[in-house]
Amino acid sequence: MTADKRIEEIIRAISAKDTNAADMYHALSGETRQKVLKTLSADGLKTLTKLIKENKKKRFAVANKRFLEIAAGDVTTPVYLIDETLIEENMRVLQYVKDRTGCKIFHALKSYASFATFPMMARYLDGTCASGLNEARLGYEEFKKEVHTFGAAYTDKEIAEILRCSNSIIFNSFYQLEQYGKAAWKSGVQIGLRVNPGYAEVTTDMYNPCSPNSRLGIIQEIFNKEFPKHKGIIDGLHFHAMCEQNSDVLERILKSFEKLYRPYIKGLKWVNFGGGHHITRDDYDIGLLIRLVNTFKKKYGVQVYLEPGEASVLNAGVLIASVLDIVQNEAEVAIIDASAETHMPDVLLMPYRPNIMESGQANEKKHTYIIAGPSCLAGDVVGDYSFDEPLKRGDKLVFTDMALYSIVKSTTFNGINLPDIAVVRDGGEVEVIKQFGYKEYRNRQS
């Protein structure tokens, strides 16, 4: 079929609100997708956005059943099980934002760095963002596209290697810029400065880069004084002030950022809007994000970068654990072979209560248990959950949304084994890609 025929067909499918339109759109080449977007009216674009979101939602619902089926089989636990097909669904949504705005999107390695799925992700995204040397190197060697590095403070020992692996380096202070800016400039690495945008809506201080006395991002008062001296070598500005948020929050942050830094934006190459954009969440307003990016680009003539982490792998992985024992106190406590402390540390840090498939809140279903980990930490408790049937030793529990910030943060405290890492590829085959044991524990001690 010719490209023109395919375009006609997809426009017809969009007008008919046919959900197949989303798959048809994703299957086109970048050039043909642009032609489709140019042909569509504003209403047509809105419909396409809706169809893409609905299509993704449907795929996730089907895959959730697959997680349960795999858990019911003979899978060894504990295991982080990543569904590559679901990450690809998220990638398609991110690619759609790129198509509509021409912005660049970099996956934040800090949230997820299981490089077994990087070849697929690299087909959709422009590269990775790194927090320092090791992530920059992983992005460079495994994702094999652009690498954009921000670290709160770099060292003499690592700077040359960071520059070798990075396309841009973002400094957190004018002191660091003075230390390493010349080396970056000589290596042809673009230079950015992280600024404090002066506004955030993150309610947990632990996750708020704009909390009082934050070390993350130069404040406006210092920026105004120092920037003119260094203007000649600065390619871009970076801010990061969001955490699991929607585009209305970005709109308010941009208002504050523009108010503080407007005189300095024109003439730069790019502005990096950081991470924390929950673009692939069902209720995320993609239309508003697209409008904000396009307006900003037009107003200042700069490229816009986004560096989400969670959005790449949102809901695309689970942690499967087995019940080892059930002990009795005033309540029944189920001890499982996964630990909140070592395998899902944000549960304790944030804190939050992860979802377990087919469970309810305490007392919502007939049988309530405290679910707790095997470590010596008294507080290694995941939470209170209820089930239709009594739990038995050997039962498997499926914790949802565990691809993000769990694998990268896991530890071997108490000598507890790290969970296996397994990937479900297209076709449903489960591939165990990593198993850990005594060696990993021992190596990290001395």
Ligand X SMILES: Cc1ncc(COP(=O)(O)O)c(C=O)c1O
* Residues at the interface with ligand X (CB under 6 A): 108, 110-111, 129, 150, 240, 243, 274-276, 307-311
Q: Are 349 and 377 in contact (CB under 8 A)?
A: no
Comparing CB distances to ligand X, the nearer of 56 and 110 is: 110
Q: Are 223 and 172 in contact (CB under 8 A)?
A: no
For the bound state, the minimum distance from the C-beta of residue 407 to ligand X, rounded and expressed in Å, comes to 13
Q: For residue 276, which of 220, 194, 201, 354 has the smallest C-alpha distance?
A: 201
Comparing CB distances to ligand X, the nearer of 310 and 380 is: 310
Comparing CB distances to ligand X, the nearer of 312 and 342 is: 312
Comparing CB distances to ligand X, the nearer of 150 and 227 is: 150
CA-to-CA distance for 308 and 312, rounded, in angstroms? Answer: 7
Which amino acid appears at position 437 of this protein?
A: G
For the bound state, the minimum distance from the C-beta of residue 356 to ligand X, rounded and expressed in Å, comes to 23
CA-to-CA distance for 338 and 9, rounded, in angstroms? Answer: 50
Q: Which residues of 58-96 are buried (b: 16+ CB within 10 A; e: fewer)?
A: ebbeebbebbeebbeeebebbbbbbbbbbbbbbbbbbbb
CA-to-CA distance for 23 and 54, rounded, in angstroms? Answer: 11
Say how many CA atoms lie within 13 Å of 198 toward its Cβ. 13
Exposed, middle or buried by CB within 10 Å (0-12, 13-18, 19+), for 23? middle
CA-to-CA distance for 135 and 155, rounded, in angstroms? Answer: 15
Comparing CB distances to ligand X, the nearer of 207 and 300 is: 207
Pairing of the two strands 104-108 and 79-83:
unpaired
| DSSP-derived secondary structure letter, 216 | S
Instruction: Output the DSSP codes for 386-401.
Output: EESS---TT-EEEESS
Q: Please, what sign has the CA dihedral across residues 381, 382, 387, 389?
A: negative
For the bound state, the minimum distance from the C-beta of residue 396 to ligand X, rounded and expressed in Å, comes to 28
Q: Is 273 helix (H, G, I), strand (E, B) or coil?
A: coil
Pairing of the two strands 396-399 and 420-424:
unpaired
Q: Is 307 helix (H, G, I), strand (E, B) or coil?
A: coil
Tokens of 119: 């070849």
Comparing CB distances to ligand X, the nearer of 274 and 419 is: 274
For the bound state, the minimum distance from the C-beta of residue 8 to ligand X, rounded and expressed in Å, comes to 38
Tokens of 208: 């708020």
Tell me the C-alpha to C-alpha distance, in Å, between residue 321 and each of 16, 266, 318, 365.
Answer: 44, 52, 10, 20
For the bound state, the minimum distance from the C-beta of residue 276 to ligand X, rounded and expressed in Å, comes to 4
CA-to-CA distance for 142 and 45, rounded, in angstroms? Answer: 35
Longest Cα–Cα distance of the chain, Å, equals 70
For the bound state, the minimum distance from the C-beta of residue 216 to ligand X, rounded and expressed in Å, comes to 7
Tokens of 221: 């008062």
Query: Phi, psi (5° rounding) for residue 15?
Result: -60, -35
Comparing CB distances to ligand X, the nearer of 54 and 251 is: 251
